[in-house]
Amino acid sequence: MEHTNSAIGRPYPETTMYGAILAAAKLKPKSVAYDFQGKETNYTQFIEKINEAAAAFISAGIRKNDVVTICMPNTPQAVVCLYALNRIGAIASMIHPLSSQKNITYYLNYSDSKMILTLDLFYEKVLAAVNEADKPVKIITARIQEEIGLVKKIAYIALKGKDYTKFPTRAGDLVWSKFVKTGDKSKLPPIEYEKDKTAVILYSGGTSGTPKGIRLSDFSFNALGFQVADITGCTLDDKVSFLSVMPIFHGFGLGIGIHAVLENSAKCILIPQFTKESYAKDVVKKKPNFIAGVPTLYEGLLEVDVFKNADLSFLYGVFAGGDSLSPELKKRFDKFLKEHNANIQIREGYGLTECVTASCVTPIDWAKEGSIGIPLRDMVYRIVEPGTFNEKPLGEEGEIILTGPTLMLGYLGHEEENASTLRKDENGTTWLFTADIGSMDADGFVYFKQRMKRMIISSGYNVYPSQVEKVLDKHPDIAYSCAIGVHDPYKMQKVRAYIVLNENAEESEEEKTKIIKYCKEYLDFYSVPKEIIFKKELPRTLVGKVAYHQLEEEAALEEQ
């Protein structure tokens, strides 16, 4: 059984990402494109900045299909650079600025980057990475203080000192503010659009193995932008603002928090870094209409004082992604929203970077417990026997496969994996095999169960860690958890649960006994954790997911 949402909407823009933003700018030239630390830039100014930077890249020798790495948080320079590269047909490789030196070198070599843009705060690390790269890479250094008002600039310099103003130090490296003045806009090439051309390279989440580059097209981003507009429940335009905190190097952050917003002439409120306290303050102060975040952020927001008496009636949408949203947290946050005058529900999205980001989302006015919602417009879902096109009956679990306009072009340099992940059916339609286990009901609601590769096999039984975690996370003493499989001489694997307790609970053998007794009420015997390990916190990936792979590696070392 397959399901698609074929609601009629605006035709997807057959142009580049820059072309889509240019159309938005022509529609609302004086409207605010982005707000950064209180400094606003309208769409006309934004387009001018993009063209100026595009001309500078041409002057620096960057041409169509050349790769430039953007190693930045959510700042104006990062956004302008992205669209400037797109303007001239170059490719933006997006990486986390907190990546290790060795990983930055890996990304540069893997993508064959010719230049890299980073903040002055990260210059020394990036320089060390560049020095170990296979080919010469020029560094462009951006500075936060160049994009904020005078008062905040003084405060920022006072806070950070002058430690970073000396960068760049290597001959030939440039400061962004000077670099963008080096081009000639009269030499900009015409906009060239090719539907199957790589526009952006994003990277797999990194919870296991070596990150793979995911090649995404202009069309996939533009289609997503209109799909997002369809599900907001309002007219997504210049009267609407989005708190863009999810990072630009992540599909959620770039695809929804930035491109979808700008493509629809709305306003991005760019947030380069945040804590749960600063996030809450920004929401109350900026009054964005849409916010997004990972589930752990929403868990934290419930505890922040500034949120407790806030009037949140300005919110039109609250989205969770990047990790599973437990039914218990959804209930608590929905109740919180209602109590604070926001007559909406938190809406969970499901997707993969292989289709930019979300391809399925909870409807605006309907939810089913445990469901990740229904597919976005023109996205088609099927539940099949793993690795095949044989469909499973409604309600039965199988591998989730999907197709639609946002699918990736493929992995960079991984042709064998491309062949197994992107497969054509008998009608010639390309499907993405997700390696995720799930099911679907008669209403088209999809239920995510587990990553196939993360499955624990204990005494021949399949154990889904996410199911164990959902049960654990409902316990009143538990803040959050992670379940993994560890070696067992009789069962092959046994379930170990790493648990972070709430402040009102104490780590003890009695607490472990109580938790295991609780699990026995809700889990099959083979899924009940055989070991409980308390932690003050759990390791996380660079995009905020619990790094279960790291816990698995630590457990493997213990056994040696």
Tell me how far apart the alpha carbons of residues 175 and 119 are, in angstroms, rounded to a whole number. Answer: 10
Which pLDDT does position 156 carry in this prediction? 61
Which pLDDT does position 206 carry in this prediction? 41
- Write out pLDDT tens, residues 318-374: 999 877 788 888 999 999 999 999 999 999 999 999 999 999 999 999 999 989 999
User: Average pLDDT for residues 91-96, to the nearest whole number?
Assistant: 96
Which pLDDT does position 540 carry in this prediction? 87
Which pLDDT does position 157 carry in this prediction? 63
For residue 277, which of 252, 246, 248, 308 has the smallest C-alpha distance? 308
- Structure tokens of 168? 């760049």
Lowest mean pLDDT among 49-58, 157-166, 364-373, 476-485: 157-166
Domains of the chain: 1-14+220-451 (3.40.50.12780), 17-28+40-192 (3.40.50.12780), 461-559 (3.30.300.30)
Across 511-552, the runs of DSSP E, i.e. the strands, are: 531-534
Tell me how far apart the alpha carbons of residues 110 and 519 are, in angstroms, rounded to a whole number. Answer: 45
The model's pTM: 0.84
Q: Which residue has the higher pLDDT, 393 or 8?
A: 393
Quickly state the pLDDT bin for 511 (edges 50, 70, 90).
very high
- Structure tokens of 23? 């159309």
Assess whether pLDDT exceeds 70 at residue 88: yes
Tell me how far apart the alpha carbons of residues 52 and 33 are, in angstroms, rounded to a whole number. Answer: 17
In the chain, pLDDT over 90 holds for what percent of residues? Answer: 76
Q: What is the DSSP string of 156-223?
A: HHHHHTTSSTT---STT-EEHHHHTTS--GGGPPPP---TTSEEEEEE---SSSS--EEEEEHHHHHH
Lowest mean pLDDT among 29-38, 39-48, 157-166, 362-371: 157-166
Which pLDDT does position 397 carry in this prediction? 94
Assess whether pLDDT exceeds 90 at residue 317: yes
- Write out pLDDT tens, residues 176-219: 999 999 999 999 999 999 999 999 999 985 434 467 999 999 99
Tell me how far apart the alpha carbons of residues 80 and 76 are, in angstroms, rounded to a whole number. Answer: 6
Kindly report the average pLDDT of the chain as a whole number. 91
User: Average pLDDT for residues 507-536, to the nearest whole number?
Assistant: 92
Residue 381 has φ and ψ, to the nearest 5°, of -115, 140
Per the CB < 8 A criterion, the answer to whether 15 and 222 are in contact is yes
Residue 310 has φ and ψ, to the nearest 5°, of -75, 145
User: Average pLDDT for residues 13-42, to the nearest whole number?
Assistant: 97
User: Average pLDDT for residues 46-57, to the nearest whole number?
Assistant: 98
Q: What is the CA radius of gyration of the chain?
A: 24
Which pLDDT does position 6 carry in this prediction? 57
Rounded to 5, what percent of the chain is helix, strand, coil? 35, 25, 40
Which pLDDT does position 153 carry in this prediction? 61
Assess whether pLDDT exceeds 80 at residue 280: yes
Beta strand pairing status for 267-270 and 241-244?
parallel
- Write out pLDDT tens, residues 405-447: 999 999 999 988 999 999 999 999 999 999 999 999 999 999 9
User: Average pLDDT for residues 548-558, to the nearest whole number?
Assistant: 88
Which pLDDT does position 524 carry in this prediction? 77
The single-letter code of the amino acid at 315 is L
Tell me how far apart the alpha carbons of residues 247 and 208 are, in angstroms, rounded to a whole number. Answer: 20
Tell me how far apart the alpha carbons of residues 291 and 526 are, in angstroms, rounded to a whole number. Answer: 39
User: Average pLDDT for residues 511-526, to the nearest whole number?
Assistant: 89
Q: Which residue has the higher pLDDT, 193 or 464?
A: 193
Per the CB < 8 A criterion, the answer to whether 321 and 348 are in contact is yes
User: Average pLDDT for residues 81-89, to the nearest whole number?
Assistant: 98
Quickly state the pLDDT bin for 556 (edges 50, 70, 90).
confident
Which pLDDT does position 208 carry in this prediction? 40
- Write out pLDDT tens, residues 144-176: 999 987 556 655 666 665 677 888 999 999 999
- Write out pLDDT tens, residues 284-307: 999 999 999 888 789 889 989 999
User: Average pLDDT for residues 37-44, to the nearest whole number?
Assistant: 96
